[in-house]
A and B are shown apart, each in its own frame.
Chain A
Amino acid sequence: MNNLFVFCELDEGKPADVSLELLTKGRSLANTLGCKLEAVVLGNGIEGIEKELYPYGTDVVHLADDPIFEHYRTLPFTSVITGLFRQEMPQIALMGATSTGRDLGPRVSSALHSGLTADCTALEIGDHYVKKSDTTYKNLLYQIRPAFGGNIIATIINPDHRPQMATVREGVMKREIVNENYRGELKNINFTAFIRPEDLVVEILDRHMEARKVDIKSAQIVVSGGYGMGSKENFNLLYELASVLGGEVAASRAAVDAGFAGHERQVGQTGVTVRPKLYIACGISGQIQHTAGMDQSGKIIAINNDPMAPINSIADYVIKGDVAEIIPKLIKYYKTNAR
């Protein structure tokens, strides 16, 4: 009872990346709270999927496997999730801020009269003191998100209603297996008790899904490499940094031309324009054709051994030195300091 639940979305029958990221985050929040991490999966022909969720530290997987759940549909999913939540009474429920999560989350929160914060960029556990009644709420979920076109950062709480619900975009949280051998418990949801005939009134006539592409455009964090990375092998450092930070790897044209990265990752005038929260330019000189595609980034870190590199003039942080030395340190200190 009162555990932390993650709604696991499926992508081509596999757990979606965002859901695995939420399980990772959920595990660390559950550790802080001293509660269990539980996942909910609805799908068709998904026997055995729980084994893909356990390694993230999932203690319980609630599963419904039936043709009704072949594709996401608002009403049957809402009824099952709402019914399950009424029964299990989670203290926290997390979902991806995807087409699905943003359709389902508000519906469930409305049915349960619990608050929902969309598109959080950070989740933390903390207390809240109310002066008027001199009461302290212990261990609330701080739902932290930008608001007002990104000009303010708001911390939202739900003191009195459960579950505390939040959605998070893909790529915002990092994804990490806690233990390959972690084993949880499988529980089949008695979904027929929750679904009403009128839940099936909306029919899907047709679906055209495209394959997921490299998407540096919507990444909140972009780790970008230039010719100064030196080789394709050194680009692996960038993939590692991007993966721990939950970002995407991009490149300058010189790096693409040299074969260090694919063209779909090129940023700049003849590439993609990005506006992430954080852009880390590694071994990029910062010619205007490149900066035209990234100078609107929230924060820019330039790592370059040339103190006169033009990129430095638009950077918020200039780290002078060798990429091969600095990037591993960023990874190391992120791992030791991140919660």
Chain B
Amino acid sequence: MNGLKIVVLAKQVPDTRNVGPDAMKADGTVNRSVLPAIFNPEDLNALEQALRLREQYPGTTVTVLTMGPGRAAEIIREGLYRGADDGVLLTDRAFAGSDTLATSYALALAVRRLEPDLVIGGRQAIDGDTAQVGPQIAEKLGWPQVTYAEEMHFEEERLIIRRRLELGVETVSAPLPLVVTVNGTAPACRYRNARLVMRYKYACTDTELQTESADYIAASRPVIKITEWGVEAIGADPEQLGLSGSPTKVKEIDNVVLQAKEARHLTSADRDIESLVRELLDSHTIG
């Protein structure tokens, strides 16, 4: 087995798991600014799988690919600190507002340009919990996919992958090229490596370099560049990106207003019970 070229898909997400009391504003809307932006948890599991394969097959390279706003360069740096070889930030105004289908279109084009043997992503991103982007990329590339992976190794030229399903485990054998999505039950990602943090602390995208503090950094030390690609670099059709490229539209957002508990007191009278049932139906608690 020769060295492989692996692309890891990683997304920067708001940390919706720790929604504290200050995460909701007085008007009941989500206060995004207080939610820290993190490396999507299952994408870390994906990165670990890639790094393990690299250890087993010398000559393997691991590239982190992320699509997001400029600050998503943090995800690439985080990947580098943990052992990735390089990264690509896919960023462009035209990507804004993309649903999973438009996102997978852009990511699939970037993957095509990178020409890897293997793409490893997380099972799902915690901001939407959709688990769609991996399979949608696989379809656009015309490659097979293996979802919910927990463990993988090569036997001859095929990847043997253990999948964690709702009701059990399944082991499959798949050829390359392949898209794999990794489950949270897979081994956790290794920590940052202090030496790598020192080396990549000042890794920057061109856009970051145009800011003032970056000038200072550039003047004081050689800068490692993080590749930044926009619509043209991947040859995307702008019609298939952003809102226009997204079949799904958000019609309405209702905030679930978090309020101090003040119980409603009801009796067993029919009128009370019926109005309760209607209220629960209206709020989609039941139905």
* Contact A110 B140, beta carbon cutoff 8 Å: yes
Q: B30 to chain A: which residues have CB within 8 Å?
A: 148, 151-152
* Contact B248 A115, beta carbon cutoff 8 Å: yes
Q: A210 to chain B: which residues have CB within 8 Å?
A: 167-168
Interface residues of A in 151-169 (CB under 8 A from B): 151-161
Q: B126 to chain A: which residues have CB within 8 Å?
A: 149
Q: Report the separation of the CA atoms of residues A210 and B83 in the bound assembly, to the nearest whole angstrom.
A: 37
* Contact A107 B138, beta carbon cutoff 8 Å: yes
Is A195 an interface residue, CB under 8 A from the partner?
no
Is B165 an interface residue, CB under 8 A from the partner?
yes
Q: B263 to chain A: which residues have CB within 8 Å?
A: 302, 312-313, 315-318
Query: In the complex, which of the residues B144, B171, B175, B274 contacts A333, with contact meaning CB atoms closer than 8 Å?
Result: B274
Is A240 an interface residue, CB under 8 A from the partner?
no
Report, as a range, how many residues of chain B touch the other chain. 35 or more
Q: Report the separation of the CA atoms of residues A338 and B160 in the bound assembly, to the nearest whole angstrom.
A: 47
Q: Report the separation of the CA atoms of residues A67 and B268 in the bound assembly, to the nearest whole angstrom.
A: 56
Q: B40 to chain A: which residues have CB within 8 Å?
A: none
Q: B255 to chain A: which residues have CB within 8 Å?
A: 151-153
Interface stretch of the complex, out of B55-63, B128-136, B199-207: B128-136
CB distance from B261 to the nearest CB of A (A): 6
* Contact B140 A157, beta carbon cutoff 8 Å: no
Q: How many A-B residue pairs have CB under 8 A?
A: 227
Q: Report the separation of the CA atoms of residues A284 and B90 in the bound assembly, to the nearest whole angstrom.
A: 54
Query: Given the known A-B contacts A118-B132, A316-B261, A333-B274, are A202 and B249 also in contact in the complex, defined by CB atoms under 8 Å?
Result: no
CB distance from B97 to the nearest CB of A (A): 14
Q: Report the separation of the CA atoms of residues A107 and B246 in the bound assembly, to the nearest whole angstrom.
A: 16
Q: Report the separation of the CA atoms of residues A157 and B273 in the bound assembly, to the nearest whole angstrom.
A: 33
Query: In the complex, which of the residues A102, A208, A277 contacts B131, with contact meaning CB atoms closer than 8 Å?
Result: A102
Q: B100 to chain A: which residues have CB within 8 Å?
A: 106, 116
Q: Which residue of A lies closest to B285 (CB)?
A: A278
Interface residues of A in 19-78 (CB under 8 A from B): 71, 74-75, 78
Q: Report the separation of the CA atoms of residues A211 and B174 in the bound assembly, to the nearest whole angstrom.
A: 27
Number of A residues with CB within 8 Å of any CB on chain B: 83
Q: Which residue of A lies closest to B155 (CB)?
A: A205
Query: Given the known A-B contacts A312-B263, A318-B264, are A98 and B135 also in contact in the complex, defined by CB atoms under 8 Å?
Result: no
Is A291 an interface residue, CB under 8 A from the partner?
no
Q: Report the separation of the CA atoms of residues A157 and B248 in the bound assembly, to the nearest whole angstrom.
A: 6
* Contact A206 B148, beta carbon cutoff 8 Å: no
Q: A114 to chain B: which residues have CB within 8 Å?
A: 247
Is A121 an interface residue, CB under 8 A from the partner?
yes
CB distance from A308 to the nearest CB of B (A): 13
* Contact A116 B174, beta carbon cutoff 8 Å: no
* Contact B256 A152, beta carbon cutoff 8 Å: yes
Interface residues of B in 170-222 (CB under 8 A from A): 170-175
Q: Report the separation of the CA atoms of residues A321 and B269 in the bound assembly, to the nearest whole angstrom.
A: 9
Q: Report the separation of the CA atoms of residues A208 and B170 in the bound assembly, to the nearest whole angstrom.
A: 6
Q: B278 to chain A: which residues have CB within 8 Å?
A: 333, 337
Q: B286 to chain A: which residues have CB within 8 Å?
A: 221, 245, 278, 334, 338
Q: A159 to chain B: which residues have CB within 8 Å?
A: 249
* Contact B135 A110, beta carbon cutoff 8 Å: yes
Q: A209 to chain B: which residues have CB within 8 Å?
A: 165, 167-168
* Contact B172 A318, beta carbon cutoff 8 Å: no
Is A330 an interface residue, CB under 8 A from the partner?
yes
Q: Which residue of A lies closest to B248 (CB)?
A: A115
Q: Which residue of B lies closest to A218 (CB)?
A: B166
What are 25 A-B residue pairs whose CB atoms fall within 8 Å in the complex?
A: A74-B135, A74-B146, A107-B135, A109-B136, A110-B101, A110-B104, A116-B101, A118-B128, A122-B284, A151-B23, A153-B284, A155-B251, A156-B250, A202-B174, A207-B168, A301-B276, A302-B263, A315-B263, A317-B266, A319-B276, A321-B268, A322-B268, A329-B274, A337-B277, A337-B281
What are the 4 closest A-B residue pairs judged by CB atoms, nearest first? A149-B16, A321-B268, A115-B247, A115-B248
